[in-house]
Amino acid sequence: MVRVVCFREDELTRNLEDVELFAWLGLDEFGSGKIGLKQGVVPAGLIPIVSIEQEKVDKYWDQAEEQARECGKRIYLCRFKLVEIVRQTERGDDCGQEKG
């Protein structure tokens, strides 16, 4: 059974504040001096390694180590928390489905 659940704005903000993002970050290996998201190889190609589940980004540890060895730049697994909602879409709602 699927149940539709809608959040009031204050409830949604509290839920977003509980979310953590995990990502591999590091200096650009081409010398720009900028920090950016590191990419990993998946069946679909290259994608930035970011998830709300640390276990998912941990799977790319070996790739991060190999990338760091090849380019000589350290790569960091970082955790992020919501500071503010900068912008939101005008369309859409704050409803989701719960499996019951």
Nearest to 85 by CA among 18, 21, 17: 17
Cut 0.85: pTM above it: no
Cα–Cα dist 35/75, whole Å: 10
Which amino acid is residue 29, in one-letter code?
Answer: E
Q: Which residue from 3, 7, 17 is spatially nearest to 80, judged by alpha carbons?
A: 17
Q: Pick from 56, 90, 88, 57: which is nearest to 75 by CA?
A: 57
- pLDDT, tens digit (0-9, with 9 covering 90-100), for 48-85: 999 999 999 999 999 999 999 999 999 999 999 988 88
Which tokens hold the place of 69?
A: 């060895």
pLDDT in tens, 32-57: 889 999 999 999 999 999 999 999 99
